[in-house]
Structure 1
Amino acid sequence: MAGRDLRALFSTNDRGLRAVEAFTNRQVQWELVAAALAEHLRQVTGPGFDVEDLECPRRNVMVFHGVGGIGKTTLSRKLEAALAGAGQRPAQWGEPAWSAERIYPVRIDLARSAGTSFEDVILTIRAVLAELGRPLPAFDIALRRYWEIQHPGESLEEYLRRGGLGARFGKAMPQQMQSALADIAQALLLPGTVGTAVGAVIGSLTGALRERRQTVRALAGCARLADLLEAEADLEALSFYPHLLAWELARLPANQRVMPVILLDTFEDVGDRTHRDLERLLQRLVWLMPNCFFVITGRSRLQWADPALHGQLDYTGPNAWPGLAAPAAVPAARAACPSHGHGRQILVGDFSPEDCDDHLARRLTRDGEPLISQAIRQVISDRSHGLPLYLDLSVMRFLEIRRTGRTPQPADFDHDFPALIARTLSDLTADERHVLRSVALLDAFDLDLATAAAGLTHQAPALRLIERPFVRENAFGLWPYHLHGLIRSTVRNADDQTDDRWTARDWQQAAQRTLTALGEQFRTRTGPSRTLLIGCLRQGLALARDFRLDLDWLADAAWAYVSDSVWEPLAPPARHDAEDGMVTAADALVELLATLARRQHEHRSLTASRLAAVARTQLLPADLHEMTLYYLAKAQRDLGDSAASRHGMQLVANGTGRLAPAARRGLAHLARLAGDFPTAHATAQTLGWQGRQHRVEGDICWPHGDMDRAAAAYATARDQAEQHNIAGERATSQTQRAFVLAFTDPETADDELHLADQLLTGLDLRATTLTTKIAAVIRDAGALSSLEPVRLLRTEISDAGLTAAEAALELALCFHHAVQDDHAKINAAICRLRTLTRGGDYTYYADIAHYMAALPLPEPSATRWLTSEGAVRSAWRGLVQARQEYLRTGG
């Protein structure tokens, strides 16, 4: 369903180009209107309906609201056309449940540019009803009186012609009004010359109504007609005349009865929260015509159901307007009938990507084929966030580029349009515009954050702003409000040509205020709120990076982030104008924390490379530089580069920073990896809780085959982590406990693995998760039906670049083959182990594999055990024999 797009047509000399106003399907909105209108028709034709009942709730209005440029006016026009007849209705919209002959649609544009007055609204509605071909005497006589008093000497017919209504609806209305006046004069037996004088007719008619004369019995049924005729004929009285129009419609013969559907568009231009004069008149119109149906389109929800407006408007509160107070109907839900229990205020949603592409493909064509290529359509659709206005502006940009003689390319449409800012800001107050620009710096916000970011001392502007349709709400979010994606991008990035546009300094100051406000929320959080920490970090890092701000509270937040070892994704979106490399401390901190989170999903060599790049910049303060060195050393250890890891750990351990205990633990690990257990054990005794002493002791005990002591140490480490509320450490210690118990007691190990899985829920610990899978292999050793899962696990570990996990998996396989007494396979596994450990770390794993299978060592071991080598051999062989016995006896 499309008309000629004249702007596009006059933007090119290409006569072969076909430019149309493509109307992308709004089927859901049509279904809501159709269902509501069908319900309204049933209500007004029911036996209990009384058009003169001024107290019953009104259900005769539906509101479509949404951000500027979303397509509300287009929807209003298409609804008018569709209601006028089947020939104007898209086939996919479906058949309505009523006869088109009964519906009289009329659309009235309330935009300031249209200059529509309340008089024009009343005259337009009456002009539409002229198609009935008969006078509506109660209304017509009152309107004629009003007109002659308020417009002396001005012909109504000439006024209608000048305003365009005469051409649109013909001359029938003035003729019908004159006919009504003549009929009443005749009924009252007035002289012909007097019959042309409205005042004389009105006076006689009012007297006749008061005396209930038989000659005016038809009009006497309108109980309030005499009162309206006696009232001063001013604008206030005119606003009550719709009651007479509704009464006349209600008394039409059944075979002539019609349903006017009045579409009031651009309702946001009616007024504001302070000046509601026109809104009051229009609300009175809707209330006094309960047998008509109104479809209102505008940027904001109607507030008529708000009791706080009592006194500003005549009819307010949820009892008066139940449909406006009920929860909004959700377009995507394709609700059936939004009747008594459903909301009648519907947010007009963005186009889907498919609708965007369809719209662009049909806007400009040549020989039936889309002129805009699919690649360009894709870029425009992605940038538009589904906003139709952006699509239209992009079409005009496409034609503008073609006029230069150049073929448009996809890169030409990675573009913001300043026109969107003007449309968005047009009906906002100065304070609201200030808040809007401030919150454009944020992914999400609440009232406090918006107010602080704007530097205001009162929340009222922010409170008004969040009611705008371009502010979306997620009631379950940490901060419930966020700007429409395209509006936010445009406000931040487009060339703002408005009178109160911000300078670069204004943006810088707003960013600093916003960062400070986020810091206040971070510092005043109650308890270890991980969600608030991550939210503050994500938004704060982006601000500090984009505006080159000092780190301030972000340093403390970074330490809080790493302390739990949870590793949620943190990297903010890339800057639109990102420079190569890291320039500020904020750049380096973003890269550091993003790398620490990404390391759970990429090869450790990439992690090491990125951390080394951060360290080389020397941009971070000393404590955060040590954090970089520590995690770089951990990545190097995972890659088997023990020399580099030991150097980094020693640098951090020599200092007095927060990670010195962790670095000493790292040195203990490195000693253990090298097979120097006495050094590892001695170092462990100095670690305490901060250095995770008990977990390190467990790591030392289990290679000696002392699984009971190892399990007890891991349990203590887990419990300590629970006491300190360190989720990552708790899950890691529990996983290690399950790992060692898998060698001794498969049934207990199964329970411990289940607990480990629970503790890992919501955490992003790749190495620890892989350990649970290795533990499952050990638990099932001797009874594995297939080694295919092991092969898949080996690939997964290799992709992660975790040498320790690769060696641990091969050790688990050695245990399985030893239990099965399969010497050929255990020898193959030992060969793989020796290949993995040829760098010097974990060489004792090959020794343990020999001990499991009761095989002699090919050469003396270089491992320095805490006990005798014989004791270690005996312990591991005993574990194999115990598992064999377990399998023979069925557990």
Structure 2
Amino acid sequence: MRGWGVAGRDLRALFSTNDRGVQCVEAFTNRQMQWELVAAALGEHLRHTAGPGFDVEDLEAPRDNIMVFHGVGGIGKTTLSRKLEAALASADRPVQWGEPAWADKRILPVRIDLARSAGTDFEQLVLTIRAALSMLGRPLPAFDVALRRYWEHQHPGESLEEYLRRGGLAGRFGQTLPQQMQSAMADVAQALLLPGTLGAAAAQVTGSLARALRERRQTVRALAGCARLADLLEAEPDLDALSFYPHLLAWELAQLPAGKRVTPVILLDTFEDVGDRTHRDLERLIQRVVWLMPNAYFIVTGRSRLQWADPALQGQLDYTGPTAWPGLAGAVIPAARTPATPPGGRGRQVLIGDFSPEDCDDYLARRLSRDGQPLIPARIRQTITDRSHGLPLYLDLSVLRFLEIRRTREPVPADFDHDFGALIARTLSDLTPDERHVLRSISLLDAFDLTLATAAAGLGHEAPAMRLIERPFVRENPFGVWPYHLHGLVRSTIRSADDATDDRWSARDWERAAERALAALGTQWSAHSGRDRMLLVGCLRQGLPLARDFRLDLGWLADAAWAYVSDSVWEPIAPPARTGGTSTLETAADALVELLAALARRQHEHRSVTASRLTTVTGSGLLPADLHEMAVYYLAKAHRDLGNSTASRQGMQAVADGGGRLAPAARRGLVHLARLAGDFPTAYATAQTLGWAGRQHRVEGDILWPHGDMDRAAAAYAAARDQAEQHGVAGERATSQAQRALVLAFTDPDTADDELHLTDQLLAGLDLRATNFTARIAALVRDAGTLPGLETARALRAEIRDTGITAAEAVLELTLAFHHAVKGEQDKVRTVIHRLRELARGGDYAYYTDIAHFMGGLPLTAPSAARWIDGADTVRDRWRTLVIARRRALH
């Protein structure tokens, strides 16, 4: 369920139009999951601090008083931080967020913006926390005395009142802090019986107080319970000492009466501006504040997750490791996790996710309105939503673009198929030069690992890539070939938007990066080119667009293309069309992309489309000789499937005569053409010369089963399947097994059932349309004589016709002839024969009509063109015997 609030007036949009009728508001998406995580964590924190075992002065206990929301720039972290502040103050909590279980507790939210532009230093951070606590209406003497000494030492002659006013703290929290500090000093001086004016004697007061605490005087017993106060008062009052003073704040809060007790919730926004992974001075000071205030709760928002639980940071920070920060260790809570499935354990690192499409549309509808109706039309909102990848910053920039275009004309959806250079600036702003270099390099890749990213960037060390993968715009999929990928919008923007940054790349820089990335992919594939099919396909999917878009030489892609076709698996491999480019073939890479795309798509397109695409490839003359041969061969196969035997024979003969890699396959193709023409003696004699390369055993089975010699055909297909398994050719193995199931379905339905089960297993994960048809036809053969109706067969016929695979349609019709013959429906057998004659009009598959006659016990009405190996009478007897045997088995 989505909920909405209004964070305030959108001043940028308001000042972008003269139309006073337009309502410009900052719409806020629900982010309910994040609120529920905060509410649950804060409730757990309150229970912990209220427990009898909690000791605010225990400096060794693990800390679980922090939650981190991190995400890519522009994802809405600052908006979330502001909304959490308002919700914790009960000022503006969306109804959908509900009332937290701890609503009766006193919560004091304090939001601090750490952005460089805000100018917040550590001193101001500490003063902000103390100024917020001034709203308690009472001094906090332990802290106030130490702070007064620090202030007079570090800011001699400077009024604290003026500093607070100038820094805006007086406006936020009032001017009560100086008075409370003065009151604390007066109370301590009175307890110590110190004479004179206190305003000029902070050092005297703190010195006397430290001595009194050491001597355990009764006059200072109210502060004696703070065990480390004397040490802090005696320490040099510098910035390092100031970072330990929050311990005094925590102690003072713990001394408050139960009815006055308050829990500060300190929201630290834009944490990425605290420093980098090398310079952690400010981060060290802030971490001390979090550690030394265990009764406060901290909510950090920034671009990166906190590394405090990493033991490797020991020495850079004071408190490190998973024991110290159990909630910051382990896996990050993913953005896609819903409130219904809360994170296990005590995970406190939360990735801020992209908006859903529905939230994007609602956001755009509410940002600009007139008379309560959305100003941005639905079609434009849809275009922006699709283009945004759910990034709120993109939505904001699109709103401003809408207002800008609207000044001169009505915006149209095409105006928002647009990249914003501002996204690049936001993404690159806190990256080192090496990290920016790696980021641009990996934007060329769909996915990557550390080795691939480093090689694509041309660097000799992995450190920049290691730092980069920790950024929230790098997403992780541990089950992919490569585990990392860029946020979709960040990637597309870096690739295509006008880049006005100081270190922007030239066209030659991009080309060199593409060359490095292509070479790196080739290196990875070559290193694992045994039988790693997923890696092969992944390398092709990434390498082909690089070679095409940057007009690179094919290199290793040629060998990879041969490896791709060798298994006959046909995973989808075509990259997206080149943006703004022509669809004509201009380079060898263009032609190879089209060739492999056509081969993969032929499993889903009519063979005439495949033939047309391959004709374009062969006609371009752009491919090297061996890959041109590949195109010619598969074009000849497409012609054969379409029944264009003459064109198929010409192509097969040319490839066979060439003697290249596909010559054995082409000779097999010529055998198939002889078989389709009914010249079985020639086909069988030639088949004996094919060997494994020409798939001899499967070809023998293809010749034997039309003769009704099912046992020998089944044995031939089994040998073909086993041989394919030995050679690791998954597609050939599945095809041979499907053919074995088909022929056994005629003789032994029970055995065929097991063979079909194995076929399904071997087809899993493969994209073999024709083989899938064979398996489905085999199931019909198995059930012949018992089919309750022919709806399944009719649907399958329509599906086969959509692909243009004539051979599959012919076998389906033969299956129906078998079914009707078993049932003694000779008229229906004659109807099937008529359809088979139509299919055989081109000369091929004519012997199928003979077989249908044999099944039905019908005399041939015309001389047969088939040259049967065993003679027509023997073939007739075998087919008729199969029909009679099935009929007897059913009765």
Identify the TM-score tier after normalising by the shorter chain: over 0.9
1:432 aligns with 2:421: no
2-side partners of 1:526 and 1:822: how far apart? 55
2-side partners of 1:701 and 1:336: how far apart? 61
Q: Is the 8 A contact 2:636 2:652 kept in 1?
A: yes
Equivalent residue in structure 1 for 2:116, among 107, 112, 118: 112
Q: Is the 8 A contact 2:142 2:229 kept in 1?
A: yes
SS at match of 2:29: coil
- Deviation (angstroms), 1:400: 1.0
Q: Is the 8 A contact 1:35 1:336 kept in 2?
A: no
Q: Is the 8 A contact 1:36 1:337 kept in 2?
A: no
- Name the residue aligned to 2:174: 170
2-side partners of 1:661 and 1:766: how far apart? 23
- Name the residue aligned to 1:281: 285
Deviations 1:748-785 (A, max 9, x none): 11111111111111111111110111111111112222
- Name the residue aligned to 1:880: 883
- Name the residue aligned to 1:218: 222
Return closer, same or farther for 1:630/1:285 CA change in 2, 3 Å cut-off.
Answer: same
- Deviation (angstroms), 1:887: 1.8
Q: Is the 8 A contact 1:35 1:337 kept in 2?
A: no
Matches within 5 A, 1:504-519: 504-519=507-522
- Name the residue aligned to 1:235: 239
1-side partners of 2:58 and 2:746: how far apart? 84
- Name the residue aligned to 1:319: 323
- Name the residue aligned to 1:609: 612
- Name the residue aligned to 1:198: 202
Give the letter for the 1:780 counterpart.
D
Matches within 5 A, 1:763-774: 763-774=766-777
Stretches of structure 1 that go unaligned for 5 or more consecutive residues are: none
1-side partners of 2:20 and 2:57: how far apart? 58
CA RMSD of aligned residues (A): 1.3
1-side partners of 2:837 and 2:343: how far apart? 75
SS at match of 1:365: strand
Equivalent residue in structure 2 for 1:778, among 781, 788, 800: 781
1-side partners of 2:544 and 2:608: how far apart? 25
- Deviation (angstroms), 1:20: 0.6
- Deviation (angstroms), 1:644: 1.0
Give the letter for the 1:23 counterpart.
F
Matches within 5 A, 1:47-66: 47-66=52-71
Deviations 1:352-384 (A, max 9, x none): 111111111111111111111111111111111
Stretches of structure 2 that go unaligned for 5 or more consecutive residues are: none
- Name the residue aligned to 2:760: 757
1:712 aligns with 2:741: no
- Name the residue aligned to 1:821: 824
Number of corresponding residues: 886
- Name the residue aligned to 1:383: 387
Q: Is the 8 A contact 1:259 1:293 kept in 2?
A: yes
SS at match of 1:294: strand
SS at match of 1:346: strand
Matches within 5 A, 1:538-549: 538-549=541-552
SS at match of 2:197: helix
1:394 aligns with 2:398: yes
- Deviation (angstroms), 1:863: 1.2
Q: Is the 8 A contact 1:534 1:570 kept in 2?
A: yes
- Deviation (angstroms), 1:609: 1.0
2-side partners of 1:480 and 1:337: how far apart? 24
2-side partners of 1:344 and 1:106: how far apart? 19
Equivalent residue in structure 2 for 1:372, among 352, 370, 376: 376
Return closer, same or farther for 1:336/1:212 CA change in 2, 3 Å cut-off.
Answer: farther
Matches within 5 A, 1:263-412: 263-335=267-339, 341-403=345-407, 405-412=408-415
1:34 aligns with 2:32: no
1:248 aligns with 2:252: yes
- Deviation (angstroms), 1:195: 7.0
- Name the residue aligned to 1:154: 158
- Name the residue aligned to 1:207: 211
Deviations 1:524-546 (A, max 9, x none): 10521001100011000010011
Equivalent residue in structure 1 for 2:624, among 621, 625, 641: 621
Deviations 1:4-30 (A, max 9, x none): 000000011000000011111111000
Deviations 1:207-233 (A, max 9, x none): 211111111110111111111111111
Matches within 5 A, 1:443-482: 443-482=446-485
SS at match of 2:485: strand
1:831 aligns with 2:834: yes
- Deviation (angstroms), 1:817: 1.1
Give the letter for the 1:126 counterpart.
R
2-side partners of 1:704 and 1:509: how far apart? 61
2-side partners of 1:868 and 1:208: how far apart? 122
Q: Is the 8 A contact 1:327 1:342 kept in 2?
A: no
- Name the residue aligned to 1:258: 262
Q: Is the 8 A contact 1:39 1:337 kept in 2?
A: no
SS at match of 2:345: coil
Deviations 1:691-745 (A, max 9, x none): 1111111111111111111111111111111111111111111111111111111
For normalisation by structure 2, the TM-score amounts to 0.98
Give the letter for the 1:6 counterpart.
L
- Name the residue aligned to 1:653: 656
Q: Is the 8 A contact 1:157 1:174 kept in 2?
A: yes
Q: Is the 8 A contact 1:329 1:342 kept in 2?
A: no
SS at match of 1:350: coil
- Deviation (angstroms), 1:339: 9.2
- Deviation (angstroms), 1:688: 1.2
Q: Is the 8 A contact 2:33 2:338 kept in 1?
A: yes
Deviations 1:278-317 (A, max 9, x none): 1010000000000000001111111111111111111111
- Name the residue aligned to 1:9: 14
1:20 aligns with 2:6: no
- Deviation (angstroms), 1:326: 3.2
SS at match of 2:448: coil
- Deviation (angstroms), 1:41: 0.4
SS at match of 1:23: strand
- Deviation (angstroms), 1:341: 2.3
For normalisation by structure 1, the TM-score amounts to 0.98
2-side partners of 1:419 and 1:155: how far apart? 41
Give the letter for the 1:851 counterpart.
F
- Deviation (angstroms), 1:346: 0.5
1-side partners of 2:344 and 2:205: how far apart? 44
Q: Is the 8 A contact 1:69 1:388 kept in 2?
A: yes
Q: Is the 8 A contact 2:185 2:198 kept in 1?
A: no
Equivalent residue in structure 1 for 2:736, among 724, 733, 736: 733
Q: Is the 8 A contact 2:71 2:473 kept in 1?
A: yes
Deviations 1:618-637 (A, max 9, x none): 11111111111111111111
1-side partners of 2:627 and 2:198: how far apart? 97
Return closer, same or farther for 1:356/1:336 CA change in 2, 3 Å cut-off.
Answer: closer
Moved more, 181-190 or 213-222: 181-190
Deviations 1:67-117 (A, max 9, x none): 1111111110110011111x4101111111123660000100001111111
Runs of 4+ in structure 1 deviating by more than 6 angstroms, as ranges, are: 336-340
SS at match of 1:64: strand
Q: Is the 8 A contact 2:529 2:536 kept in 1?
A: no
2-side partners of 1:724 and 1:44: how far apart? 67
2-side partners of 1:250 and 1:750: how far apart? 76
- Deviation (angstroms), 1:338: 7.4
- Name the residue aligned to 1:849: 852
Q: Is the 8 A contact 2:186 2:198 kept in 1?
A: no
Deviations 1:368-416 (A, max 9, x none): 111111111111111111111111111111111112x111110001111
Q: Is the 8 A contact 1:600 1:767 kept in 2?
A: yes
2-side partners of 1:720 and 1:642: how far apart? 29
- Name the residue aligned to 1:632: 635
Matches within 5 A, 1:792-811: 792-811=795-814
Deviations 1:640-692 (A, max 9, x none): 11111111111111111111111111111111111111221122122111111
- Name the residue aligned to 2:192: 188
Return closer, same or farther for 1:339/1:320 CA change in 2, 3 Å cut-off.
Answer: farther
Return closer, same or farther for 1:25/1:302 CA change in 2, 3 Å cut-off.
Answer: same
Give the letter for the 1:84 counterpart.
A
2-side partners of 1:618 and 1:242: how far apart? 76
